[in-house]
Structure 1
Amino acid sequence: MRRLSVFAAAAVALSFAIAPASAQHRIQIGCTATSDCASAMVAIDEGIFRRHGVEAEMVRIGINSNIPAALLSNSIQIGGPTASVFLQAADGGLPIVAVAGASVMSPETSANPAIFVRNGLTLTKPADFVGKKVGAPGLGAYLHVLFVKWLMDNGVDPGRVNFVEVSFPTMTDVMRSQAVDAVVSSEPVVSRMVAAGVGSVGARYVSELNRTDPVIFYAASRAWATQNPQAVAAFRAAITEAARIVNTDDDKANRAIAKFTGQQLALVQSVRRSRSEPALKASDLLWWIEVMKQQRLLQGTPNVEQLVLP
């Protein structure tokens, strides 16, 4: 009987020990095929979410601007919108809130975006793009907003540039056909176009802006975040741990990125990945709001204190 009691006590102790792992918060995390959500990818691959009581799944979203709607429909519980997409959605009245940081601009990764120019043209200065037809992967999205900022900072009226939407997968063909004069793009697409011989880099315009503001951050519907404070806390703890790996361990970070994005590992290794920064303050959104108001992309002035979950 004494032996049975010992085994019973051990079983009870074991059940308490594994309770946190079995009482999982289930979270689907939606991001585009980019390294900006690498902290969530690593947190899954390295079992970090599980250690923090989160059963997480990454969901690939085709277009970043679809993320706010996916959050509100509960197709995903957490998503990685760009700062510009998030602010336009919030300004439009969608009840979403930022819960943690994902990626930030940095001197290393700001060299990834570029204005890529077709063969036969030399366009390197902001004034060179006046009257030209420029393709962008989403008007009002991250790369387009920063390109317009570059133009305006150098005295060029963006209204004198003819912008059209051109998706990343079609950029090489569009440049080869010379349907546009240039495209706003980023790595690894830029390197692919260089290799295809369809043009050359005109300017690394984001580097010239020299900013360290957020690129993408993790957001949720306000209702879900309010109703699931423990899940939010566990998510934050996990990506904080994972962010250190993203920023210091190339092998683990690149493997996780390649797995989620579906890109070949060699290609992922060739591109400077975004710096992961899990901390996010309300004040981190102020520069973006200023830029977007300057471009008349916001109807009002969002209250940043209400947009970032404490």
Structure 2
Amino acid sequence: MKLVMKAALGAAVVLASWTGLAAAQTKINIGCTATTDCASAAVALEDGIFKKNGLDATMTLIGLNSNIPAALLSDSVQIGGPTPSVFLQAVDGGLDLVAVAGASSTSKTTFDTAGVVASPASGIKEPKDFVGKKVGAPGIGAFLQVLFSKWLIDNGVDPKQVNFVEVTFPTMNDTLKSGAVDAVVTAEPMMSRIIASGTGAVAGYYLEKLPERRPAILYASTRAWADANPDAVKAFRASIEEAAKIVNENPEKGRQAIANFTKIPMDVLSKMKLSVSDPKIEQEQLDWWVTTMNEQNMLQGKPDTAALIQK
């Protein structure tokens, strides 16, 4: 009888511990676009790092980066991967968002992971050839479009003379092939797919002269969610730091996680570099983005960048 009671008691303790563990799991949905910039989140999900740190995480593929702030506001995702420009414009427009971690940043070793790809029929060879052309971008005001515009300015071309339209990453190849646009501002892994298909060729690498460690994607949430879930923010940061190290040291694992998230074939991903995973986000990095955006008159106010990073 005593043995039965002990066994029952032991089972109850185990069940209670499992129940407590389940209760401790905070549910988060993470929204990212189809690039390699959220590789740290993809690896953290695939390797069980989020779960180990008490997060019941899922990931959702979002077509346009500019849709991420709205997804955060509606609580359809709790953490998203906006570009700094989309993040800052959303804050400038009145949304109370905060950066909770870094995702990826620029590096001299990976400048060729993004570029502007033009169709053969466009006749585009150099910056001045973009005047009067229609260029597709994965979000007006997003990282790629803003830095492509900076590249045009640095080469004496007014971006206002270029017709920008929004084109999602998955549809870029078909949109360019159909002639609906003359070029697309794109990044890996889509860039390699477009080039491999013969639809277009690189007409410029606009990240080539950027400073090191300029954020390409950051992880953000609403301030209300971050304030209400400090332990989840801490667990998310710890998970991203651990996963970022894996991505940078073992790119193949990062590629596989991205393939599983985006459904892009591994034979495409295997031929390209991954963005540098950079889990830190600092005020100086956001200040650089504010300066870059002000050059293009993209902000109405003066963001308090120190207050935009969740403590």
TM-score, normalised with respect to structure 2: 0.89
Q: 2:73 maps to what in 1?
A: 72
Change (3 A) 1:211 1:123: farther
Please give the alpha-carbon distance, in whole angstroms, between the structure 2 residues aligned to 1:269 and 1:217: 24
Does 2:85 match 1:87? no
Q: 2:237 maps to what in 1?
A: 236
Alpha-carbon displacement from aligned partner over 1:19-71 (angstroms, at most 9, x marks no partner):
76332111111111222111111111111111111111112222211111111
Please give the alpha-carbon distance, in whole angstroms, between the structure 1 residues aligned to 2:281 and 2:106: 13
Q: Name the aligned partner's letter for residue 301 of structure 1.
A: K
Q: Name the aligned partner's letter for residue 79 of structure 2.
A: I
1:43–1:242 contact (8 Å) kept in structure 2? yes
Q: In the TM superposition, what is the alpha-carbon distance from 1:106 to its structure 2 partner? A: 1.5
Q: 1:163 maps to what in 2?
A: 164
Q: In the TM superposition, what is the alpha-carbon distance from 1:171 to its structure 2 partner? A: 3.3
* Range 26-35 or range 4-13, more displaced: 4-13
Change (3 A) 1:248 1:294: same
Q: In the TM superposition, what is the alpha-carbon distance from 1:151 to its structure 2 partner? A: 1.4
Residues matched between the structures, number: 310
Q: Name the aligned partner's letter for residue 253 of structure 1.
A: G
1:97–1:219 contact (8 Å) kept in structure 2? yes
Unaligned runs of 5+ in 1: none
Q: In the TM superposition, what is the alpha-carbon distance from 1:105 to its structure 2 partner? A: 1.3
Q: 2:42 maps to what in 1?
A: 41
Q: In the TM superposition, what is the alpha-carbon distance from 1:214 to its structure 2 partner? A: 0.6
Q: Secondary structure at the match of 1:208?
A: coil
TM-score, normalised with respect to structure 1: 0.90
* Range 224-233 or range 249-258, more displaced: 249-258
Off by >4 Å, runs of 4+ in structure 1 = 1-20
Change (3 A) 1:201 1:73: same
Change (3 A) 1:110 1:16: farther
Please give the alpha-carbon distance, in whole angstroms, between the structure 2 residues aligned to 1:288 and 1:62: 23
Q: 1:144 maps to what in 2?
A: 145
Unaligned runs of 5+ in 2: none
Counterparts in 2 of 1:63-142, with a 5 A limit?
63-120=64-121, 123-142=124-143
Please give the alpha-carbon distance, in whole angstroms, between the structure 2 residues aligned to 1:12 and 1:172: 57
Please give the alpha-carbon distance, in whole angstroms, between the structure 1 residues aligned to 2:208 and 2:179: 26
Q: 1:21 maps to what in 2?
A: 21
**Identity of aligned pairs, percent?**
52
Q: Secondary structure at the match of 2:303?
A: coil
1:97–1:309 contact (8 Å) kept in structure 2? yes
1:108–1:272 contact (8 Å) kept in structure 2? no
Q: In the TM superposition, what is the alpha-carbon distance from 1:178 to its structure 2 partner? A: 3.9
1:21–1:50 contact (8 Å) kept in structure 2? no
RMSD: 2.5
Q: In the TM superposition, what is the alpha-carbon distance from 1:224 to its structure 2 partner? A: 0.8
Q: In the TM superposition, what is the alpha-carbon distance from 1:210 to its structure 2 partner? A: 4.4
Q: Name the aligned partner's letter for residue 267 of structure 2.
A: A
Q: Name the aligned partner's letter for residue 51 of structure 1.
A: K
Counterparts in 2 of 1:221-232, with a 5 A limit?
221-232=222-233
